[in-house]
Every structure is written in structure tokens, then in C-alpha cells.
Amino acid sequence: MVKVAVHSSDCDGILSASLILLKYPEAEIDFLTVEEAKETNKEYDIAVDLPRPRKCRLWIDHHESNSDLKRNGDYFDPNANSAASLLVKALDLERSKIARDIVEMANLADTGRHTDDLLILDRVIKWNQGNKEKLLAIARAVSKSGRDFMREELISSEWRKIKPEIERFNKKIEEIVSRMWRKLRRNWAEGDTCMRLDHQ
């Protein structure tokens, strides 16, 4: 069984897991944080979108900050839009339409060009960070449906569950920011020079 580590908290990591599942449906996938990847002594066949674990046969990444970890045979390119765009080559999945769709989604997400659906997927991933079973199920759903992942009941039901919480959180943040601005404007109007920038 192929043992894999992927980044646990963003679209690129989970979409990379989807590519792994296309190639190796029975793969054992660990969803790690950056710190966990640095500290683990577990052996991996493949690690993606993370700093290189100590015991890793094939490492795939695109973060410039990790460039000193590269070894011969790794897929590392700091100019790549996503780790998934390198992984699809390593797995020889470039002829698969679903794989190409997954890479396109990863490229959009990792360069800050989220579609509405990708923003939902990102929130669902972050909400479930730390829940290996749920992250694996999300990755499996995407590997099945590609860009049509919102048709998957697991993802749409997770979004229905968390959307009210996110909306409440956003409303609370807006209220806090609004109160801060009102206070700043009041202090400014009252001549509180501590609130002004000194341009002299």
C-alpha cells in the first residue's frame, strides 16, 4: 500500500490527495500540518505540498521556502502554480480529464483565484482540518466528480451545515470592525492627536 502525506488545510493539499486516490484508490493518506511534516519520523512513499519529511521517497512541492530540501528525483518547482500541477506529472495522470480538472482547480485556489465553488470547498476543508476521515472522504468525492464536486452529497451537506456558522462569524467580524471605525472617527472628530498620523 502506498503511504502518502499531504497538506491538511488547503485546497492544493486536499486536491493533491484526490489525484493520489485516482492513481492509488487504496492509498494510506495522512493529512499533516507543516509542523507535523517537519517533526514526523513516519516513512512515506510520497509527500506533497509540505516540507520534506525526514523519511520520504518522493517529495513534491512548489514553495520557495522549501527549496533547500530538494533531492535528486524530487518534483520541485517554485514557479509551479500548485503542488498538484507537479503531482499529476509524477503520477502520469495528465491524460485523465478529471485529473486535469483537479489540477486546474488547485492552480486557481493556490494563486488566489477561487471560484465560488472553490471558496466553498476551501471553507469545508478548513472546517474539517484535523478530521482525517472527513478530509479523506472529501478528497475521494473530488476524485470521483472533479470540477462537479458540489454535486457530491458529502460536500454539499457539509456546506449546508457550516454555512450558518460562517455567516454568523462574518457578521460578528463586521460588527467589530464597524465599532472600531466609529470609535476612530469619533476620536478624530474630538481632536485626539494620538489617532492622527504625524507627517512632519
CA-closest candidate to residue 17, choices 103, 150, 140: 140
The residue with cell 458540489 is 150
Give the helix/strand (H/E) hosting 83: helix 83-90
The residue with cell 454568523 is 168
Q: How far apart are CA 91 and CA 87, in angstroms?
A: 6
Q: In what order do the strands lie in the sheet with 75-76?
A: 28-32, 3-7, 43-48, 55-61, 75-76
Answer whether 0.85 is exceeded by the pTM: no
Which residues 6+ apart lie within 8 Å of 138 measured at CB? Answer: 14, 121, 124, 125, 128, 154, 155, 158
pLDDT in tens, the chain (200 residues): 999 999 998 999 999 999 999 999 999 999 999 999 999 999 999 999 999 999 999 999 999 998 888 888 999 999 999 999 999 999 999 999 999 999 999 999 999 999 999 999 999 999 999 899 999 999 999 999 999 999 999 999 999 999 998 888 778 888 888 888 888 888 887 765 554 444 44
Which residues 6+ apart lie within 8 Å of 178 measured at CB? Answer: none
**In angstroms, how far is CA 124 from the centroid of its own chain?**
10
Q: How far apart are CA 72 and CA 22, in angstroms?
A: 25
Where are the chain's structural domains? 3-147, 156-195
